[in-house]
Amino acid sequence: MTRLHELSRLGQSIWLDNLSRTLLREGELARLIAAGVSGVTSNPAIFQKAVSDSPHYRDDLARLKSQEADPERRYEALAVADIRAACDLFRPLHEASGGDNGYVSLEVTPRLAHDEDGTLAEARRLVLLVERDNLLVKVPGTPAGVRAFERLTAAGVRVNVTLLFSLRQTVRVFEAYIRGARAWLDGGGDPQRLKAVASLFLSRVDTLVDARLDALATPEALRMRGGTAVAMARLAYQRYRELFQGPAFTELMAAGVRPQYPLWASSGTKNPAYGDLLYVEPLIGPETINTLPDKTLAALLDHGRVAATLETGVADAEAHLVRLEDLGILPEAVGDELQQQGVVLFANAYDRLIDQMR
C-alpha cells in the first residue's frame, strides 16, 4: 500500500507527466504502475527531452533517417511506438476499471492550436494510427481547440483538453463536453465509449500572478503569493460539481456517460520557496486526476500527506480571486495570456523536437 493507493481510495488518480523509452524498457513505468500510477501524459517538450536523454532511440532514429524523408513522420513513428507500449502496460488497469482509468495521452501538433478543422482531422488520424482504446488525444483549450473537442466528443473520440489556465476556460470545456456527449448519444453512440479530462495548469498561474503581486509590493499583495493556483483549482472543482452533479448532466449520467474529470497539470512547484507538494496536498478529492512530473511524484511517495482537502477553504478561494481583481490582477486575463504563451512554448518545443529528427 502506497500513498497513491490511499489517494485512489479517496477517488483521485495519479498520472505520470512523463514518458520515455528509458521508463518503458528499463522497467520503471511498470514499477510505478505497481505503486499506483494509473496513467501517463506526454507533450512535445517531454518527447524532446526523452529523445535527447535516452539512448534507446538512437538505432530507430538512424533507421528512420534512412527510410523516411519527412522529419515529422520520423518523430511520429518514434512517439507512436512509445504511446502504444505505454497503452499496453496500462491495459489491465484500463480493463479492470471499466475504462475509467489507465489512459495515455498523445498531443496533436501545436501548430494546429488555432485550426479547428485541422485539429479534428489530426486527432482522428492519431486515433487510427495508435489503435488503442486507452489513448487520449490531447487538444488545446483554445477557442478553435474547444470547438474541435466538442466535435470529437460527438464522434466518440476520447480527449484530454490541455492548456487551460482559468475558470472560464475550464467551464467552456466542460460545457463543450456536455454538448458533444448529447450529440454522440443522439446519434446512437455507446455512452461508455466517451472519456475526457480537462487539464488545468497550476504552477504557471502562480508564477505570473506572483510577479505582479511582487511588483505591487504591498503587505496584502505579498501575503497572497503562492495562493492563486490552488484557489483557482478549488473553484474549478466547484464548477465541475455544479455541472456534472447537477441538472445539466442528469440525463447523460443516467444514460451511462462519464463526467469529464478535472486534471491538475503543471503541478511541479517552480518556486523553491514553496513546498514541493503545493499543487498536490491541497487538491485531493474524488473524481479528479493529478499528473505529476517525476520529482513531484517521488516527493508524494516519500512524504505526502493524504487527506480529502479539495473542498476545504472554498470561501477563502473565492475571496482570494476577488482580492486579486481589487488589486487590478484579473484572473481571466491572466489565463488568456498564459494560454497564448503556452501555445507558443509547446510549438517551440515541437519545432526543437522536429529539428532533432533531421
Q: Are 40 and 19 in contact (CB under 8 A)?
A: yes
Residues 6+ apart with CB under 8 A from 39: 13, 15, 16, 90, 101, 102, 103, 104, 105, 289, 291
Residue 138 among the catalytic residues? yes
Grid coordinates representing 106 are: 498523445
Q: Active site residue: 49, 65, 138, 195, which one?
A: 138
| Residues tagged active-site | 138
